[in-house]
Amino acid sequence: MKTILTILAASLLLAACASGPTSAQQTAALETAIADLLQGQVTAESTAAPVAEATTAPAATSADTSGVAIPPTAGCLPINTERVVGTVVAIYNGDAAIVEFNGDEHEVRYIGINAPGPEEPGGQEALNANIALVAGKQVLLVMDVTDVDEYGRLPRYVIVDGIFVNLELVRQGVAFRSSEPPDESCKNTLNQGQ
């Protein structure tokens, strides 16, 4: 139990640090709570208030209002655009998926990346990587500028299990960065993934 509490305290400390400046009171309360944990003198009641106060973090390093964890690598995500949680019901290539939300299925095209089709060289690897990341899972879809593209697809940034999918596919080498103006909030982040 002490190990679990120590890990929790360390996680809270990291979240507090990532959230930006904290007051001296918040820092002191967090340090005291961690010291108590390490000495085995803590109860849930003694740490709840200071830790909760000290760990308020922006969406880029904490849970989104949807409850989905946003990884630090997705700090480029637009803040004031539509965010929807849906379930991936089908995948047909390495840079898109069919996602069900609000009672309908929508074709979602991952913003800022391109992957070869399954019949092209490297396409099966891209498809398999996409399947491994999102198949059957709940995903957070984040709009940039364009709501629906000329093909009726929803261009979106995709987050699953604390992973920025668009970036992860580029990092794995199965997709490459693609310029898609005006949807370029994460252009620099995706360029760094190559």
67 falls in which pLDDT band (50, 70, 90)? confident
Q: How far is CA 184 from the centre of its chain?
A: 17
> Mind listing the domains of the chain with CATH numbers?
2-57 (no CATH), 74-192 (2.40.50.90)
Q: Per DSSP, which regions of the chain are E strands?
A: 83-93, 96-101, 104-110, 113-114, 138-142, 154-160, 163-164, 176-177
Would strands 104-110 and 96-101 be described as parallel, antiparallel, or unpaired? antiparallel
**Consecutive H or E run containing 89:** strand 83-93
Residue type, 153: R
φ/ψ of residue 131, rounded to 5 = -60, -45
Confidence (pLDDT) at 20: 45
SS3 70: coil
68 falls in which pLDDT band (50, 70, 90)? confident
**Closest to 79 (Cα-Cα) out of 186, 188, 192:** 186
| 179-to-86, 110, 185, 192 alpha-carbon distances in Å | 26, 12, 11, 14
**In this predicted model, which residue has the larger pLDDT, 30 or 174?**
174
